[in-house]
Structure formats: structure tokens, C-alpha cells
């Protein structure tokens, strides 16, 4: 099997999609978490990505508010 066919069948080379979303979310909400326990850190990260997703959704549906900077 040639490389192009294998790449297309395995969806190889799409890592940049995930990296772009993670990078944008981290830029928007800062990379660090303030929680001290592992469970708290995981929950805080989930909430940050949840909030980022909602900001992007609202931006698409309602439109961008004056002065709002939401990437996505």
C-alpha cells in the first residue's frame, strides 16, 4: 500500500486539528490551573474547555460582541 492511500485510510496527518483547538483554548483561558489536587486540576481543565466551547458556539450563533475576542 502506498503512503498516500495509507494516510487517507488512517486519517493520518490530522493532529494539527486537535493541536489548534488545544492551543486556542489554552491561549484564551491561560495554560495553568489553580487547583492543587489532581482531580481538581482535571475538573478545572474540563470546565475551561467547556467554557471555551460555549464561547465559540455563542460567537457563531449570536455573533461577536463588541470587544470580545474569541478564536475558533
How confident is the model over 10-19, as pLDDT tens digits?
A: 878 777 777 8
Is residue 35 within 8 A of residue 43, CB to CB? The reply is yes
Q: How confident is the model at residue 27 (pLDDT cuts 50, 70, 90)?
A: confident
pTM attached to this predicted model: 0.59
Query: How many Å apart are CA 43 and CA 62, to the nearest integer?
Result: 28
Q: Where are the domains of the chain?
A: 3-61
Note the residue count of the chain: 72
Amino acid at each position: 500500500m502506498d503512503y498516500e492511500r495509507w494516510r487517507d485510510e488512517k486519517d493520518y496527518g490530522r493532529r494539527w486539528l486537535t493541536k489548534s483547538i488545544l492551543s486556542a483554548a489554552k491561549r484564551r483561558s491561560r495554560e495553568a490551573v489553580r487547583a492543587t489536587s489532581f482531580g481538581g486540576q482535571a475538573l478545572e481543565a474540563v470546565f475551561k474547555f467547556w467554557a471555551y466551547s460555549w464561547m465559540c458556539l455563542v460567537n457563531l450563533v449570536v455573533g461577536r460582541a463588541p470587544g470580545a475576542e474569541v478564536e475558533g
